[in-house]
Amino acid sequence: MPALAIIPSEIVKLFRERFHSNSEPGVYRAPGRVNLIGEHTDYNLGYVFPIALEMACYAAIAPAEHGRLRVYSRDLNETYEIEASAIAHAKPQHQWSDYVIGVACELSKAGIEITPADLCVASEVPTGSGLSSSAALEIATAVALLGSQSMSKLDIALLGQRAESQFVGVPCGIMDQYASVFGREQAAIQIDCRSLQHEYVRLPDDVSIVAVNSMVKHELGTSAYRERVAECQEAVRAIQTVNPNVQSLRDVSPGFFEQIQNSIPEVPRRRARHVISDTQRVLDLAAAARARDLPGMGRLFVASHRSMQHDYEISCEEIDFLVDTAIDIPGVYGARMTGGGFGGCTVNLVAPEAADTFRQYLHTAYLERYGKDAAFYNCKPAAGAGRMDVSG
């Protein structure tokens, strides 16, 4: 499993080479996340249960004299630049730089002056993997551009979400940016997406959390995401004919849903059933984690996967294969898809002593079936975004 690929001194070196500079850039880090349960519940104001990862996006920044915000992406080996004075009115370019400029634009709308600077970004979070490489880039950019200017953690997360929904144009919920900001070592974050408050839940020590990257991302992703958002809204409208006080699927308890589900048309009814049951599963998983009930946690993982597979219809063949194969391996408590869907990663709860066999067996089975090398990431909960000490 890959160790950290980027260390702060390397990004400083890269910064100096790229920008022909001797300055001491500030270095910032913002992690990706793996969601343990509660998928597509965030924009329905329910609960989610992610952990922030050690894999992160790094940003090195220093003020410059050239009047522009100049951004270099190590991963794409591309530079994008824009006059600092034009940022407030910037328009999306439909490329990677939108994540950075979207954040700069939102900061400027929030009254933070964006002064000319060089910014170098490099990420360990694999793109298209469902581990939130976009939020890691947005939040790394936000903390780098803020520097010593203060903004509350919640405002930083909300600003990142606005950059993604309003500038990049994906109507995402708050989970990814929130997890990147509020991550904590050894803990999962139970986020209430309505109150925007959270609770840290310590995970049992005797279980490994392993993400398995299917290396596929089906194109459907963004359009299907919008479609699901719309279908959930349609379910809410149907439920309002029975109870006008319902504002979102968060307001619908599993018991009430049972009673009124026949008043919702078939497709939105299944979407709602997933959202309402997965929100409940977040609470159940947190309780099972506190009780160190690993088989119970595993069963919730599998139930969540089946719900995404059949009711929310966001899984795909390769991911179902990874889940179905994993749960038959001894020492695996449970497996499910994580993230937006249509590919990306599964997340698995594995007894630590079974982790090697799990990896070897699943890797071989997937290679034989799909001719692809799945990647395995050991997910240790890590701290949220912040400035790094580069002295050492």
CB of 8 or CB of 130, closer to ligand GLA? 130
Q: Which region, judged by CB under 6 A, interacts with ligand GLA, from 23-31, 34-42, 321-329, 373-381? A: 34-42
**Torsions phi, psi for 321 (to 5 deg):** -60, -45
Interaction with ligand GLA in 190-249: which residues (CB under 6 A)? Answer: none
As a 3-state breakdown, the chain gives helix, strand, coil percent values, each rounded to 5, of: 45, 20, 30
Nearest distance from C-beta of residue 130 to ligand GLA, angstroms: 7
Distance of closest approach, residue 319 Cβ to ligand GLA, in angstroms:
14
Stretch that binds ligand GLA, among 35-43, 183-191, 212-220, 285-293 (CB under 6 A): 35-43
Residue 218 CB coordination number (10 Å): 15
Catalytic residue ranges: 176
Q: Please, what is the minimum distance in Å from the beta carbon of residue 99 to ligand GLA? A: 12
Site string for ligand GLA, 41-70 (x = CB under 6 A): -xx---------------------------
Rounded Cα distance between 71 and 85, Å, is: 15
The pattern of x and - marking residues 160 through 199 that bind ligand GLA according to CB under 6 A reads ------------xx-xx-----------------------
Ramachandran quadrant class, 241 (left: phi over 0; alpha: psi -120 to 50; beta: rest):
alpha
DSSP-derived 3-state class of residue 246: coil
Interface with ligand GLA in residues 360-389 (CB under 6 A): none
- Dist CA 375 CA 322 (whole Å): 12
Count the neighbouring beta carbons within 10 Å of the beta carbon of residue 5: 10
- Give least dist CB 176 to ligand GLA, A: 5
Bridge pairing between strands 197-202 and 117-123: unpaired
298 binds ligand GLA (CB under 6 A): no
Give residue 292's region: left, alpha or beta (phi > 0; psi -120 to 50).
left
Q: For ligand GLA, how many residues bind (rule: CB under 6 A)?
A: 12
Residue closer to ligand GLA, measured from CB, 129 or 325? 129
Q: How far is CA 7 from CA 27, 56, 132, 380, in A?
A: 10, 11, 20, 18
Burial class (CB in 10 A: 0-12, 13-18, 19+), 282: buried
Nearer CB in complex with ligand GLA: 40/359: 40
What mask, x for binding ligand GLA by CB under 6 A, covers residues 334 to 353? -----xx-------------
Residues 78 to 137: which contact ligand GLA by CB under 6 A? Answer: 132
- The least distance separating ligand GLA from the CB of residue 131, rounded to whole angstroms, comes to 9
Comparing C-alpha atoms, which of 31, 46, 36 is closest to residue 289?
36
As a whole number of angstroms, the distance between CA 328 and CA 346 comes to 15
Residue with Cβ nearer ligand GLA (62 or 211): 211
Q: Residue 39 interacts with ligand GLA (CB under 6 A)?
A: yes
Minimum CB distance to ligand GLA, residue 213 (Å): 15
Strand order of the β-sheet with 197-202 is 47-48, 187-192, 197-202
Residue 26 near ligand GLA by CB under 6 A: no
Residues within the interface to ligand GLA (CB under 6 A): 35, 39-40, 42-43, 132, 172-173, 175-176, 339-340
